[in-house]
Each structure stands twice: as C-alpha cells, then as structure tokens.
Amino acid sequence: ATQTLKKEPAVLPDITLKEVKHLQTKDLINIYTQNKEEQTAIYEEEKKILALVGKDNIDVRKELAEAIKQNNRSRLIAFLIVLAKTKDLFSIIKADRGFRQHLNERHGIEAEQQFDKTPEDPVFYSLWLQYVLRMKAKMLESDSARVGTKLANLAGRKYLKTAYIDSNSGSFKWVPIKKEQGRLVLVS
C-alpha cells in the first residue's frame, strides 16, 4: 500500500545566527527545517520513494546505499524520512554490516554486544545516523544533527534526546555519547 504525504513542505524565512539567539522556543523548533529549495527537493524525493516502496521488488537497502554513494543529499534525507515514517529504519540499522564493523572498531566488542541486545536503543540510533550522515554522506555536524532532530520526531519520543539545537550558538548538535559501566549511554 502506497502512503501519501498529508503535508506540504513548510516555507520558512531566512534567519541569521544573531536572530536565533533571541527566538522563542516555538520559533527554534521551526528552524530545523531546510531552506525552501531543499525542503521542496526532499518532498519531491519523498513522493518518488513512497511510490517505489509500494512495489514488491524494491531493495530499500540498495536504494539507500545508492543515494549515499551518489551523494544525493535530498534523496538520502527523503529515504531516511520515509523509513522513519514507516518504522522500517530500525530494520535497516540492525542489518547494516558496515555500521556493525564501525561500532566494533570505534567502541569495541562490548558495544557490538550491547547493540545485539538492544538495537533500538537511542544510542545506536544516534550513532547510526552520525555514521550515515557524517561519515558516509560527509555532512557537517550541524546539518546532520538537524536532520537527526527531524527524524527523531518521526521515530518516537525516546529518540528526541539524541540531537538538539544549541540556542546560544544557533547550531544543531548531537548529544554526546560516553561509556558508563561498560555500556554506551547518551550524556544527560
């Protein structure tokens, strides 16, 4: 069954960093969307992807990998949005062998074992998005964390604490991750 998007892309005014520092919380929430052109491009890619997802023979992992390889930012973000909306993002994360290897190399075998037990933990959601957006797609931290906040809103309440906007600097940041009693945890 093909899903249809109910919402048109938002059109937001351009805003400077100086203005960000003086905004109300409700205004800060609006900043995480992209400029009009990028928002429209992502929306158009979402429509194409939703049409593809309805077909039986689509290999979502292959299509996602191709968007990363081609450095097609709008398509990559649209794929991640669709996967978050359809709740298929976690099956992609669980099956990503490259991420598993990265996790082991960067954080050790204990982290990989923790991932095996609790793959939907917000820590791994955050690490996977950083792996895909920052390492693979070469996005800047602020851009990747902005996308992370948008995806967290779609993925569910417990993922909201993975990225945030720093109202002092006006930039998006990933919540730091540390090892505590042998486990990876988000820093509160």
Per-residue pLDDT of the chain (188 residues; tens, 9 = 90+): 444 333 333 333 344 444 445 555 555 555 555 578 888 999 999 999 888 876 665 677 788 888 988 989 999 999 999 989 888 889 899 999 999 999 999 999 999 999 999 999 999 999 999 999 999 999 999 999 999 999 999 998 999 999 998 888 888 999 999 999 999 999 98
pLDDT of residue 25: 54
Query: Strand 163-166 vs strand 177-180: parallel, antiparallel, or unpaired?
Result: unpaired
Distance set, CA 2 to CA 43, 52, 168 (Å): 15, 8, 42
Give the span between the Cα atoms of 23 and 19, in whole angstroms.
7
Residue 161 falls inside a structural domain: yes
Q: Which domain holds residue 49?
A: 17-186
Tokens standing for residue 133: 């957006």
- Total structural domains within the chain: 1
Task: State the pLDDT at residue 107.
Answer: 95
Asked whether residue 6 is assigned to any structural domain, the reply reads no
* Distance in angstroms (rounded) separating the CA atoms of residues 68 and 164: 24
Any domain includes 1: no
* Cβ-contact 74, 103 below 8 angstroms: no
Give the pLDDT of residue 15. 40
Q: pTM value?
A: 0.79
Q: How far apart are CA 60 and CA 70, in angstroms?
A: 15
Residue 3, domain member (yes or no): no
Tokens at 4, concatenated: 């249809």
Q: Does residue 45 fall inside a structural domain?
A: yes
